[in-house]
Amino acid sequence: MGPNSYPKMETGGVTRMAPQRPEFLTGRPKVKVGVVQLASELYGKERNERKILRLIEAAAKERADLLVFPEDSSLGFPFEATKSILAKYRGLSETIPGPFTDRLGKAAARCGMHIVIGLPEADAGKAGHLYNSSVLFGPNGRTAVYRKVHLYTAPATGLDEKAYFEPGNEAMVVDTEAGRLGMMICYDICRPEYPRILTLAGAEILLLPAAWPTAGGPRWEALLRARAIENQLFVIGAPQGGKQFYGNGMVIDYQGKVLAHTTRDDSVELCTIDLNGIRSWREMLPYLKDRKPALYREFSERQLLRDL
| 271 belongs to the catalytic site | no
Sheet holding 114-122, edge to edge: 143-147, 130-137, 114-122, 66-68, 30-37, 267-274
Gap between the Cα atoms of 294 and 69, Å rounded: 38
pTM of the model: 0.92
Catalytic, 57? Answer no
For 213-245, b/e burial (b = at least 16 CB within 10 A) is: beeeeeebbebbbbbbbbbbbbbbbbbbbbebb
Q: Is 148 a catalytic residue?
A: yes
- From CA 174, how far away is CA 20, in angstroms rounded? 12
Q: Which of 49, 71, 94, 121 is catalytic?
A: 71
Spans of all domains in the chain: 8-301
Give the pLDDT of the chain (308 residues) as one tens digit per residue.
Answer: 455 666 554 444 566 665 444 455 567 889 999 999 999 999 999 999 999 999 999 999 999 999 999 999 999 988 787 889 889 999 999 999 999 999 999 999 999 999 999 999 999 888 878 999 999 999 999 999 999 999 998 776 667 899 889 999 999 999 999 999 999 999 999 999 999 999 999 999 999 999 999 988 999 999 999 999 999 999 999 999 999 999 999 999 999 999 999 999 999 999 999 999 999 999 999 999 999 999 999 998 888 888 88
Marked catalytic residue, from 51, 94, 166, 186: 186
CA angle 4/110/270 to nearest 5° reads 85
User: Topology of domain 8-301, per CATH?
Assistant: Nitrilase/N-carbamoyl-D-aminoacid amidohydrolase (3.60.110)
DSSP 261-277: E--SSSEEEEEEEETHH
Half-sphere exposure in the Cβ direction for 220 (13 Å, CA): 27
User: Pick the catalytic residue: 49, 121, 148, 161?
Assistant: 148
Beta bridge partners of 9: 16
Q: In the prediction, which pLDDT does 22 show?
A: 44
